[in-house]
Chains A and B, each alone.
Chain A
Amino acid sequence: MTSENMADEYGRKWDRCLADTAVKTATGLGVGIVLSVLLFKRRMWPVSFGSGLGLGMGYSNCQHDFRSPYLIHGHTVKVNA
């Protein structure tokens, strides 16, 4: 079961990642479209900006998700002498 989880984890991660990226990209696109329509006089740049933003966020999330096992959280401990 665990191994399936591990192997599936990879797949699941990818699924999540892709889904998330898609969502984010779509959302960015949407926001971009909205902003471009609302604020930026139907220019292209907020759409691409927004989709890029979304893609980037998704990519970053994906990477973070994939990195998560390797992340080390350090704490500084003050030693009182």
Chain B
Amino acid sequence: MLGVCLRGAHATVRKNCVRSPLTPLQSYRCYSTSRSSGASRVVALGLVTVGGGVGGTLLYSKWDPKFRAAVEKNVPYSDWLLGLALGPAPEDARLPVRKQVELNQPPSMLDKPKTDPKAKSQKSVKEAAEASGPESSLVPPPPAQSIQEASAEATQIISAISEVPSVPATCDSEAAADECKECHKHADVSETAAVASAEPLKERPVDEVTARLVQQDQEEEKLLASLSSRLEDSLASSAKATLQAIGAQEVALQAVTQHTRKLKDAMEAEAPSDEKSTQWKELEAALAERTAAVKDATTTLSKANEALEGLKSVINQAKGQKVAAARPLILAAEENLHQMVVDLDKVVSKVRSAESEAKVVSQYTELVNEAKQQFQREVSSLTPEIQANWKGLTGKLSVDDLNALIAHAHRRIDQLNRELAEQRVREQIHIEAALEQQKVEDHKVLDAAVTTAMGHVKEEARLNLEQKLAELREVMEAEMRTQLRRQAAAHTDHVRDVLKVQEQELRAEAEQVLNSKILDQETRYRQLTQEQLDNFTLDMNAAYARLKGIEEAIDSHAVAEETAREAHQLWLSVEALSYALKSAGADSPSMPLEDAAEAVRASCHDDFCSALASALPQESLQRGVYSEASLRARFNALRSLARRVALIDESRNSLYQYFLSYLQAALLFEDQQEAPPSQLSGADLDPFKLLSYASYCLEHGDLELAAKLVNQLRGEARRVVEDWLTEARLTLETRQVVSLLSAYANAAGLGTTQAP
């Protein structure tokens, strides 16, 4: 574009300024005016194009981020510009969207089992179960509770699906328990069924079971022991009480019978008065005894009843606890109880009969006493002075009294006869009534007796039944046991067979496993040993190598030191040699280099060095070499001579030629010193030129080039400078060798820092 602009400018200039020949100033003006009109147009056009391009790029990059990326990649600093103009690149906006999508996904998957635990559709449940696994790895930590719940839900769901009672993980057990509680609350059959089946199917470990069994046995035994002890205690106490009661009752019975007998005797017997009084006293004693005995009997009876009640309650309790082993005990206790109850009842009935008899007798006595008293009252009313014990007072009674008494007696007899007749008349009725009453009473008694007897019989029957049941039970148990034994035997046989087979299988399996494991172990062992060996060998090798290396290092170090020493020696000898070279005087050669060369040769330990050392020319060794300065001086002297014989060569060597050459030398002027060209042309082979070149070289210390140039001389000039050339050659050779040696010594000396 710049070219175009310039071309345009030139064209306009040419157009405008070609007409008149202008001075340079005017042409400048012409140039300036043309630029303002034509070039400005071009410039404006260019600016517009550039601006349009940039704006279009901006707009398009705003619209298409890929284009923007391409532009930024290819055009430097465009990213800064685009950033300034458009804002940051839109690639960042893409990532948060994706992340959000991802983030949105797992919470939704997480919420699914939470919000919808009763997922009926298996597919969604399976997805949730599947997703609940991997999503935990995707999402950065959700709350632990939800994961626990989710996992618990997942396990439950899985168990519900697969109908395998999956025991939830121990860490989730609490959550599972909570969940289980919740599930129990829910009215979801499948889940509750699954969960309910899951819960009781919680396997308790074997020792727990055995422990529980043992515990149960122990409890049973304890219970049994306690029961039996209680039964025994209560039995004992009740037996004691019953015996006591029976004893008391018998005592009471005896007392009552005695009392009645005594009463009867007292009533019937007509004994003398003192005996009567003793009798009455005895009677009173007997009565007291009877009452005491009866009271005692009643108390003991009540106690016995209480005891029996207690025993009954204990028996019932024992029955209620349903301990099988206690049944015979219970049975025995019941029998005992029954027996005691029966005895007690018998005795009580005896006592009652005795008491009734006693009542009858007492009634009779009362009647008799009443009659007697009445009679006595009658008698006393008739004969007030007569007291009781009228039988003894036979002499004291008066006639009136006697008559009154007899009359009273007669009247009484009549009354009594009348009563007797009445009684006889009413005898039947009375007897019937009495019979009725007796019947009723007999009925009552019979009923009572019957009820008691029935009760007893029932009790006996029940006891018998119980006994029979117990026996039967025992028999059944025995039979069951035999059957079970048979079954057990069969089972054991079967189990034995199965076990045998299983054992074989397992053995085979185990052997296989064992073999494989042994093989593995062996191979591993071998591997390990091999590894160990290898490692050991490696270590040994490494150590050996290191040792070797160390040794080598030491040796090489020693060698290096040796070489260093040698190199130093060499260097020193070379230095001596070069110093010997410098010992050349102004016109005399240096000292003979023989010694120095010998020293160098001595300190040479390789072929290169010795070759170099032997490359020293003999002359230098024996005579020494001239220094450059002396050579230079000589050359200057030789130069004039060479100039003088410049024309002389093989073909021109007459004296006339000598004269001519002398003349030439006198008349020809050349530069004292002229720098030699890099390549000699034919014209440069002129002796004078050569000499000036050589002079220049010598002045600038380049003996070699000077020698080379001088070597180009031909003819007599050459013959004249031959010696000088030889000397120069010698010096150059020697110098070269010495410099080589020196370089070599320096290199060797430098090189001795490393192993050669």
Contacts and interface: CB of A to CB of B under 8 A. Distances in A.
B66 interface: no
Interface string A55-81: 000010011001101100000000000
B634 A3 contact: yes
Interface stretch (A4-12, A26-34, A46-54): A4-12
B638 A69 contact: no
A2 to B, nearest CB: 4
Contact of A7 (B653, B655, B723, B726): B723
A66 B653 contact: yes
A70 B726 contact: no
Given A59-B655, A67-B653, A70-B650, A3 B727 contact: yes
Contacts of B720: 6-7, 10
A25 to B, nearest CB: 15
Candidate in A3, A6, A59, A70 with the most chain B CB atoms within 10 angstroms: A3
Given A66-B653, A69-B719, A3 B724 contact: yes
B655 A66 contact: yes
A77 B215 CA distance: 147
A6 B641 CA distance: 11
Given A7-B641, A10-B645, A63 B723 contact: no
B586 to A, nearest CB: 14
Interface string B694-726: 000000000000000000000000011111101
Nearest to A4: B723
Contacts of A69: 719
B650 A6 contact: no
Chain B facing A: main interface SS:
helix
A2 B118 CA distance: 128
A67 B651 CA distance: 9
Contacts of B648: 66
Nearest to A66: B653
A67 B649 CA distance: 9
Contact of A63 (B645, B650, B654, B727): B654
A2 B724 CA distance: 8
Contacts of A59: 655
B280 interface: no
Interface string B235-248: 00000000000000
B206 interface: no
B4 interface: no
A19 to B, nearest CB: 15
A76 to B, nearest CB: 21
Contacts of B31: none
Nearest to B722: A6
A59 B659 CA distance: 13
A1 to B, nearest CB: 8
A59 B719 CA distance: 21
Chain A facing B: main interface SS:
helix
Given A2-B723, A6-B723, A70-B650, A63 B655 contact: yes
B150 to A, nearest CB: 114
B93 interface: no
B637 interface: yes
A68 B209 CA distance: 143
A3 B721 CA distance: 7
Given A2-B723, A2-B726, A69-B719, A7 B654 contact: no
A70 B653 contact: yes
B719 A6 contact: yes
A15 B571 CA distance: 50
Candidate in A59, A62, A69, A70 with the most chain B CB atoms within 10 angstroms: A70
Nearest to B619: A2
B655 A3 contact: no
Interface string B723-734: 110110000000
B653 A3 contact: no
Given A66-B658, A67-B653, A7 B637 contact: yes
Contacts of A4: 723
Contacts of B650: 70
Nearest to B654: A63
Nearest to A63: B655
Contacts of A63: 653-655
A67 B652 CA distance: 9
Contacts of A66: 648, 653, 655, 658
Nearest to A59: B655
Contact of B655 (A5, A10, A62): A62
A67 B638 CA distance: 20
Nearest to B648: A66
Nearest to B725: A3
A62 B719 CA distance: 17
A5 B719 contact: no
Contacts of A7: 637-638, 641, 720, 723
A62 B659 CA distance: 13
Interface in B450-504: none
B618 to A, nearest CB: 14
Candidate in B654, B719, B723, B726 with the most chain A CB atoms within 10 angstroms: B723
A13 to B, nearest CB: 10
A79 B196 CA distance: 140
Contacts of A62: 655
Nearest to B653: A67
B665 to A, nearest CB: 13
A66 B649 CA distance: 11
A6 B710 CA distance: 15
B660 to A, nearest CB: 13
B654 A10 contact: no
Contacts of A70: 649-650, 653
Contacts of A10: 641, 645, 720
A17 to B, nearest CB: 8
A3 B727 CA distance: 8
Contacts of B641: 7, 10
Nearest to B631: A3
Nearest to A72: B650
Nearest to B728: A3
Given A10-B641, A10-B645, A5 B654 contact: no
A2 B721 CA distance: 10
Contacts of A2: 722-723, 726-727
Contacts of B638: 3, 7
B658 A3 contact: no
Given A10-B641, A69-B719, A3 B654 contact: no
A1 B648 CA distance: 23
B723 A5 contact: yes
B267 to A, nearest CB: 207
A5 B658 CA distance: 19
A36 B648 CA distance: 40
Nearest to A5: B723
A68 to B, nearest CB: 9
A10 B727 CA distance: 18
Contacts of B658: 66
A79 B638 CA distance: 46
Question: Which 8 pairs across A and B sit closest by C-beta, in order of nearness?
Answer: A3-B723, A2-B723, A6-B723, A70-B650, A3-B724, A67-B653, A63-B655, A70-B653
Interface of B: 634, 637-638, 641, 645, 648-650, 653-655, 658, 719-724, 726-727
7 contacts: A2-B722, A3-B726, A4-B723, A5-B723, A6-B721, A7-B641, A7-B723
Given A7-B641, A66-B658, A67-B654, 4 more contacts: A7-B720, A10-B641, A62-B655, A66-B648
